[in-house]
Chains A and B, each alone.
Chain A
């Protein structure tokens, strides 16, 4: 029987992965929408983007809250350490998320022509992944100052470390890569050829920096946290799988067919890399202060959370399937006939 804390962290990691995908699509779409508007190409793809995003933007947001509440619930110590250390970057991320969510609604349901709203929406799409990635960097250890009764963030160490910058770079670039390849798929379903052409170019363009920044981040991780790096090297086959999926996706995109399969490959590419990273992190949640076993909540709460989780999934999965059926796989809706 797998222990509840291990089960908890696995499920949460899965949800974080889910957030990574849906949020990347959303964050990237905002930047593309703004870029298209400012280069007067908006007629090509903005309708496409808003058709996909309007029904799902709230769901994206919940994925994040879900992960966050889950980790604080399963591992209350994370609230103390991360909460104390990340007061400023966390609050900035909250403010950016707030601007983004509300201005999306303002722009989309209210005034459809306001370029300032669109700018805020686009710009925050790149700043949020950057600010959220700080939490990942901090988890590697070495950025937290601990005194007798206070925990704080060592900004100097954070800003001068190449690891933090390479993670920020990776976050931004992969957002653009995931988003453009998803939107290319969506455009191909909508049989919107001009949008497809543009988005395919974006996807091909952002693929190179994605793989380069991933490699750079990996190298800097090796310099910063030897243990984590070694653990990941032991999972070489997962990393290899990730690269293989990437190659398949690139080949499909280059050939210009099977966009759905290409996007699935990209999802699998990130899935294997993300899990290699996560498993390599074990047993630490925050190196060296919080481990999965030491920081876990009481067994009764852990059990209750797992039960609530299973119950919740029974509600969620059919509902999400309904959303996909109505807005993603309904050809008439995607094409704009409904």
Chain B
């Protein structure tokens, strides 16, 4: 029996990327919050915030480890699973890949230093300064790798000659038309997700173990970040939609089940399709798609029927798009509700129901990241390099790829399970308040010793 190597190649890569996306998002988002917490802690001389930075970075390093190894996996899989793709595109995308590794290198070096130099410098700001290369390295590696993805969507910076890319301009390939909107959306959503994760954890802990000063501060800080990046992310989503309408109309049309080109197009929420491709049970928001796409309620939006059948993305992406956007707005609404309660004295922002909703922000934001990536990637099918190379031309021909799918599946299950176990152990056995006490006691002892010696 012949193995469908294209199908299994897609599965291997999709699974690795889906798994990596969780840890990559944490890797980009959390350092910024660690840096903010440590800065506030030093500024206000509030040991709670310093402890926050310490505890977050301790959990962070565990997830970084998984992020690093899955990132290594995906970088090798590019050539192992898609050899034809790398042979062709390697000439154009090598530069951003190379720069990504530099950014990652930079981050890795300073992360090691950061973790092992708490209390090693007299001036606490020196230790805090170490967070800058970490935040910058994490952010820049996201930027560079996103330009590669941008290139696959909007290839540019070369001339196609007899099946080869010639006259390559690597910088122009990096600064393709998709890059800006993608980078903006990836960064804002990573920071949003990182903040939502920490807010969710704080809310969950307060539900389980009661309210404490430490967790209140953690929740306040991370919800403020959720609000800020939620707003930025909404803006980024809007920029992305306008980009799609202009440059990749088939992707937007598939997401919106917009079949016929028309003026004043409706935005369609949920629903389903019957066999004749008629939309049933959906909510129609009149003229909103035109507004979303061009900022004009009567603008003309290209429909899917203008594209050849074998170049249309799967229609399933409609749901992915709706879920992603829905969660994005929900997170923003939750953040607004939280701060409404904070400032409106009659209400308690830490009541059980609100905490339950807040705890939900963590899983929801990760779901949104996954839906968003799935939408972006499935929406570009059948192309691997849009307009130049189809996915089935790029895949490996080795039937072993099916076996490897199951091997990697096992690996990811094991990594996920052990990672969760280790994180639970790390934080369950040492609640923040208890750690605070032992830590302050140690400090007192040290200063007492110092005093005696003097």
Contacts and interface: CB of A to CB of B under 8 A. Distances in A.
Interface stretch (B65-73, B226-234, B331-339): B65-73
Interface in A64-93: 64-66, 68-70, 72-74, 76-84, 86-88, 90-91, 93
Contacts of B407: 91, 95
Interface in B111-159: 111-113, 115-117, 120, 133
Contacts of B112: 54-56, 58-59, 323, 327
Contacts of A105: 61-62, 64-66
Contacts of B401: 87
A1 interface: no
B340 interface: no
Given A68-B76, A109-B61, A315-B106, A322 B113 contact: yes
A150 interface: yes
B109 A320 contact: yes
A87 B109 CA distance: 30
Contacts of B62: 105-106, 109-110
A220 B64 CA distance: 42
Interface stretch (A176-184, A247-255, A300-308): A300-308
Contacts of B396: 83-84, 87
Interface stretch (B42-50, B83-91, B203-211, B370-378): B83-91
Chain A binding surface SS class: helix
A102 B415 contact: yes
A192 B68 CA distance: 32
Taking residues whose C-beta sits less than 8 angstroms from the other chain, chain B's interface range is 35 or more
B249 to A, nearest CB: 31
Interface string A91-115: 1011101111111111001110000
B95 A301 contact: yes
B259 interface: no
B81 interface: yes
Nearest to B415: A102
A92 to B, nearest CB: 8
A40 interface: no
B134 to A, nearest CB: 11
A278 to B, nearest CB: 21
A327 B113 CA distance: 9
Contacts of B239: none
A203 B286 CA distance: 77
B202 to A, nearest CB: 21
A76 B91 contact: yes
B397 interface: yes
A193 to B, nearest CB: 24
B400 interface: yes
B170 interface: yes
A79 B79 contact: yes
B75 A312 contact: no
A93 B75 CA distance: 13
Nearest to B426: A110
B101 A69 contact: yes
Nearest to A152: B398
B2 to A, nearest CB: 13
B86 A308 contact: no
Nearest to B397: A150
A212 interface: no
Given A95-B407, A99-B411, A308-B102, A106 B95 contact: no
B65 to A, nearest CB: 3
Nearest to B411: A95
A111 B397 CA distance: 42
Nearest to A91: B404
Contacts of B86: 72, 76, 79-80, 83
Given A84-B397, A106-B422, A338-B120, A94 B72 contact: yes
A95 B82 CA distance: 18
Contacts of A84: 83, 396-398
B449 to A, nearest CB: 15
Nearest to A312: B102
B80 interface: yes
Contacts of B84: 80
A293 interface: no
A61 interface: yes
A95 B80 contact: no
Given A149-B397, A304-B170, A338-B120, A102 B419 contact: yes
Which of B84, B112, B115 has the largest count of A CB atoms less than 10 A from its CB?
B112
A83 B80 contact: yes
A87 B95 contact: no
Contacts of B168: 297-298, 300-301
Contacts of A38: none
B169 A98 contact: no
B72 A64 contact: yes
Residue from A72, A102, A106, A300 whose CB has the most chain B CB atoms within 10 Å:
A102
Q: Which of B70, B79, B90, B396 has the most CB of A within 10 A?
A: B79
A101 B65 contact: yes
B113 A88 contact: no
Interface string B88-108: 101110110111111011101
A201 to B, nearest CB: 29
A55 B64 CA distance: 13
B413 interface: no
A309 interface: yes
Contacts of B220: none
A106 B94 contact: no
In the A-B complex, list the 8 residue pairs whose CB atoms are closest, starting with the nearest: A73-B94, A76-B90, A105-B65, A79-B86, A83-B79, A110-B422, A55-B112, A83-B83
8 contacts: A55-B116, A69-B101, A72-B79, A76-B87, A84-B398, A87-B400, A101-B68, A301-B170
Given A87-B400, A102-B415, A316-B106, 11 more contacts: A59-B112, A72-B79, A73-B95, A77-B87, A91-B408, A94-B77, A101-B68, A105-B62, A312-B98, A316-B105, A323-B113
Interface of A: 54-56, 58-59, 61-62, 64-66, 68-70, 72-74, 76-84, 86-88, 90-91, 93-95, 97-106, 109-111, 149-152, 297-298, 300-301, 304-305, 308-309, 311-312, 315-316, 319-320, 322-323, 326-327, 338
